[in-house]
Every structure is written in structure tokens, then in C-alpha cells.
Amino acid sequence: MNFCRNISLKCFITYFIAVWICISFLATCYVYELQLYNYIWKQPQDDCVDCEHHEKENQIAFEDLELYLRMTSRFTKQYYDFLLPSLRYFWPGNVSVVVVLDEENSQDKELGLKLPGTYPYPRVEYQSPIDPGIYHHKGHERMQRDFFYPDDKIKKKYVGFLDTDTVFITRVIPDLLFEEGKPVIIGIYGKSDEPYFRKESLTTASVFKSKEVFRGMSFFPVIMDVSHIVELRIYLEKLHNKSFDEIYKQYSGEPISQFSIMTQYMWSFHRDKYKFHFHLKSYNNGKWHGEGNSPNRQSYEFYQTNVTDDQKCPKPRSSIHYRYHPNWRKPPTLRNILKTGICFSGGFDVCPDQCKHLNRGALQPELYFFESVDWSWDKRSLDEQKKHYAKVLEQRNADTDSAIKLGCVEANKLWFKP
């Protein structure tokens, strides 16, 4: 300011040059990012001869699975910034995704025209608003209600529910999501000390007229047999002698979790068709004996006697719920989380330079976190991680390597633009 107090030609020229340099610098960055974006999201993916064969091998167990994403155009940025890069690096190229949008929303309609043309080439479906009183005119409650009706939208045997801020953190192989062909369910068990989940367990218990077994909003993707969800609605309609939407209207508006309700049903009526894992919260590194357990939760005695050792064994998760990470707003957080997963999933071999800051034998803590609940205190978690990565490396092929390579390049440059 002082410098230019008396406007002179010399001052004007200096100022002009400085501004020009700044603008061209920013423009270069922008163009570079845009090129990177085009490279990553618009490249055809079938540029290696061997892929098809390998893809088949990898795909078999996912053939019956469609990922279900209930979103609206308000969440477009999350979809592009959080979910998509992680899908791209860690899922097989032809993952099936269904995006469900609001039927009455014109911006959703516009988005619905665009989405199927770009990765991951989702099928788009629309959901009518029905009677908004059912979900108390709240978008979030509406979304939860719609999760109970996947039979409208899903064309395969299994639905895999996701959120726009689900971030995959490791190569997704069938063993991570299915054991012996059965979908994995990871529930959080222990003292419910967050007020929200204390209340939420009350809702589940009240809906079923029996104690909640664990918190089911505790992993992604939540994979269920679609027909079991249809059965669940019928079961509750009989139990309450009213329509499912009336039941939903009665209980929503208070803390409620659609996933706790669904997993409760699967535990109660289809225990042998799913593989359950009880993520015990880390009180005293597992030395918790039921003190302060929520009154609406199954007792500690139940955990000791009715939960098998297998069900108590730590299971690596494929993803995290990103916006619950304490530093989620800071861009390096996502980059570092993705990069760690990329290195473990093949990066140590494919792009050693980008991974030399990491120790191959170390724990990848994100595998054992959901929101703020840690499971890595369990000594067995590192072993389970090693088993997982041994299988990932066994299933390495040209296709997975090229996804990992892409991740290595990109994780250093990140950001994504819709």
C-alpha cells in the first residue's frame, strides 16, 4: 500500500507484472489439475490385454452384489471427493453401483443424467418423497427410511449400503466382505457412552421389544440379502400390527439407526447366513467387565457366553466413515489415509518410492477404527491385517496393479473435481 501511495508509471508496471505472474501461476496449477482429473476419470480402463481374465477371477464373489448409495445432489462434492477415488483404487473396475436420488428435485434429475456416463458408471434410480410426515420432513430420516426398501431398486441378491463419505482404505477382496460366502457384519459392542447411541439402542430395543445386541451403524458396506430386508418389514408389521411406514414414523425423529435395526434382525433370525464379528470397545484394552453397559443392550454375560471366539476375533474393515475423522476437513488427511492403503495393497512393490516412508510390518490403524471407536488395541489385529494383505498380494494382477499405480501418482497430486 505504502509502496504505491503516489501512483507512478514505474509502480504501475511493477504491480501489473506481479499480478500477471500470480495469475499465470494459478492458471498453470488449475490446468494441471484439470489434466490430471481428465486423465484419471476419463481414461478408458481396458488398456491391458490380460485384464479380462483377471477381472473374472476377482469378480466372482461380487457378482451378486450391488452397492447402494442413497444421496441427493447436495452431496455431489462428497461423492466425488471421498467415495469415488477410494472406489477407483480399491475396487475391481466394474463394480456395480446404484445411486438413488430424490425424484422431485430438479437438480437431482440433472445429476442423474450426468452420473451414468462417468466412473463408476452407476445405474440411477429415483425415490419419490411419499408422505414426508413419515420421516418428519427431515432429509436424513428420509434416507434412513428408504434403506428399508432396497427391493425396489436392487436387482441382485445382495445390497451393499454405502454413504457418500464412505472411504475405502484397502484393496477390497471377497474375503473382506464375505466369509464362506456369507456377508460379514461387524457390530460394536460395549458401553454406549455417546448420548446418541445410548438413545439409539433404546429405539432398536423398543422396535424389537428385546435388547439390542450391538450397534449396527458400525461398518461399510452393510451387505444384506435383499429378501431378508423384505422379511424384516413384514416381521415388524406383524409385531406392531401396523404398516412399516407407520412404525418408522413412530420411532424416527429420535436417534435411530436403520443398520442397528437390520443387523438386529439378521442376528435374531438369520444368524447362520451372516458372519458376525463383535468389535469390543477398548475400555482398559479389553479388560471391561460390563460396567456401565447400556440397559437396552445385551448383557456382558451374553457377550461372554453366547458370543463365540470366532465372533470376537478382530476383522479388518474395508472402509471408514470419513467425516467422523477428527481431521477430515484438512486435505492431507484423506491423502495420507488413501496412500497408506495404496502402499499396503501393492504400492510397496508397484511404487516403492511413494511408500518408503511407511513400514510394511506396521499396523494400519484405520482398518480397525469406526468413527472414533478403536479395535486395534486387540493384539490379534495385526495378525489379521497380515492375513488380509497376504491374500491381497496373492490376488495381485495387472488390473489391480494399474489401479494401485494410479493411486500412487494421484495421491501425491490429489484433488478431484466433478
For ligand NAG, the binding residues (CB under 6 A) are 52, 55-56, 59, 62-63, 94, 96, 241, 299, 301-302, 305-306
- All three cell numbers of 151, joined, read 427391493
Least Å from the CB of residue 363 to ligand NAG:
32
Q: Smallest distance from the beta carbon of 81 to ligand NAG, in angstroms? A: 24
Supply 289's cell numbers.
467387565
Q: CA nearest 372: which of 142, 180, 188?
A: 188
Beta carbon of residue 378, minimum distance to ligand NAG (angstroms, whole number): 22
Backbone angle region of 190, left / alpha / beta, with phi > 0 → left and psi within -120 to 50 → alpha: left
The helix (run of H) or strand (run of E) holding residue 221 is none
Q: Residue 172 Cβ, how far from ligand NAG at the closest point, in Å?
A: 12
Closer residue to ligand NAG (CB): 52 or 193 = 52
Neighbours of 246 (CB within 10 A): 12
Distance CA 225, CA 211 (A): 23
Residue of 126, 124, 166, 120 lying closest to 146 (CA atoms): 126
Q: Which is nearer to ligand NAG, 301 or 353 (CB)?
A: 301
Nearest distance, CB of residue 261 and ligand NAG, angstroms: 19
Q: Which residue's CB is nearer to ligand NAG, number 131 or number 301? A: 301
> Is 181 or 352 the residue whose CB approaches ligand NAG more closely?
181
> Where is 7: in which H helix or E strand?
none
What element of type H or E holds 394? helix 381-394
C-beta of 66: minimal distance to ligand NAG in Å?
8
Q: Give 212's DSSP letter.
A: B
* Shortest CB 146 distance to ligand NAG, Å: 23
- Closest to ligand NAG by CB, 364 or 400: 400
The smaller minimum CB distance to ligand NAG, of residues 216 and 255, is found at: 216
Pairing of strands 158-162, 65-70: parallel
Report residue 184: phi and psi, to 5°.
-85, 135
C-alpha 84/C-alpha 400 separation (Å) is 16
If the CB atoms of residues 38 and 94 are measured against ligand NAG, the closer one turns out to be: 94
